[in-house]
Amino acid sequence: MKFLTMALLALAGSSFAAEPASLKVYISADMEGIGSVSTWEKQASASGADYEQFRRLMTLEVNAAIDGAFDAGATEVLVSDSHGDAQNIDPELLDKRVKLIRAWPRPLGMAAGVDASFDAVVLVGYHGGEGQADSILSHTEDDTKYADMKLNGVSVPEAGFVAATAGAFGVPVVFISGDQTITRVTRELLGDIETAVVKVAHGFYAGTMVHPEEARRLIRDGVKRGVENRGQLKPYIIAKPVKLQITFKKTVEAEVASYLRGVERLNGNTIVYTADDMLDAARFVNTVYYLKVD
């Protein structure tokens, strides 16, 4: 009897071991770094003449990333549409295995929905930060609003801000796709993550594009490798308290932001907010973003 019980326990144990462990992947998708995208006017604005075609290309690149995540053993994937009005990804064309976050505002912005239950973060279609040379449509958050954003003195593109937000939950970024510049800059910031260079920027608009099918192959393969290697990558941790420095393009917006508690005005256009932690910093950014003073 005892032997039988032990044998049953052993069987139960082996069946538990065969059960796939949870592996959750979070994908944040922007549009300027999607393959073939080179202008806002025609391609990456909802009113653009070719927008419908390019939102389809964006959705298919996200699907390629989803395939890569499931190839690597993901059990759950959450996607955040993080461009423009955050309603670009075509819900019908999107891979049926995932859930999709759409629209703003949201306190964690481009990292909305990420938490400590996730194992890896994947960035698709990201672009260089404001002022970055040789990077298609480079800007930070809003090209009319911010000239720079720093975390504890380090200037970060949107990819760095999302990485820091996910890092606050202990989740590493494992992959980024975009042009040759944002992929290089993000590796310099985060370490040896996987990348897919889907275009080579010649400047702010012009670039040499790989074919969309090749872009999707690079993304699928890169995401698979990245998710598989997640254990080798460290979350991007910003020491607390977080000094969030924002340089506004409009002096009057820096002025009004400086009315808030905890904000110091460094010069006409630049403020520093001392945040308790990265999540506090993210909420601050996603609040002052809506500050519009004419």
Q: How far is the CB of 8 from Zn ion (least distance, A)?
A: 55
Residue closer to Zn ion by CB (options 142, 214) is: 142
Shorter beta-carbon distance to Zn ion: residue 162 or 219: 162
47 Cβ neighbours under 8 A, 6+ residues apart: none
Question: Nearest residue to Zn ion, using CB?
Answer: 30
Q: How far is the CB of 291 from Zn ion (least distance, A)?
A: 19
What is the nearest approach in angstroms of Zn ion to the Cβ of residue 82? 7
Say what the alpha-carbon torsion angle 150, 156, 160, 166 is, to the nearest 10 degrees.
10
In what helix (H) or strand (E) does residue 246 lie, and over which residues does it extend?
strand 242-248
Identify which of residues 23 and 27 has a Cβ nearer to Zn ion in the complex.
27
Q: Nearest approach, Cβ of 141 to Zn ion (angstroms)?
A: 7
What is the closest distance, in whole angstroms, from the C-beta atom of residue 157 to Zn ion in the complex? Answer: 9
Strand partners, 245: 150, 272
Q: Identify the burial level of 1 via C-beta atoms within 10 angstroms of its C-beta, where 0-12 means exposed, 13-18 middle and 19 or more buried.
A: exposed
The CB-side HSE value for 257 (13 A sphere, CA atoms) comes to 34
Judge contact between 134 and 181, C-beta under 8 A.
yes
- Residue from 119, 149, 166 nearest 288 by CA: 149
CB 182 → Zn ion: shortest distance, Å?
Answer: 10
E strand spans, 106-183: 120-124, 146-151, 154-155, 173-179
Q: Residues 6 or more apart from 157 whose CB is under 8 A from it?
A: 126, 127, 128, 129, 132, 140, 182, 185, 186
When the beta carbons of 30 and 81 are compared against Zn ion, the nearer one is 30
Q: How far apart are CA 169 and CA 238, in angstroms?
A: 11
In angstroms, the CA 209 to CA 212 distance is 8
In angstroms, give the least distance from the CB of 158 to Zn ion.
5
Q: Which is nearer to Zn ion, 74 or 163 (CB)?
A: 163
Is the CB of 74 or the CB of 173 nearer to Zn ion? 173
Nearer of residues 124 and 238 to Zn ion, judged by Cβ: 124
Residues making contact with Zn ion (CB under 5 A): 30, 158
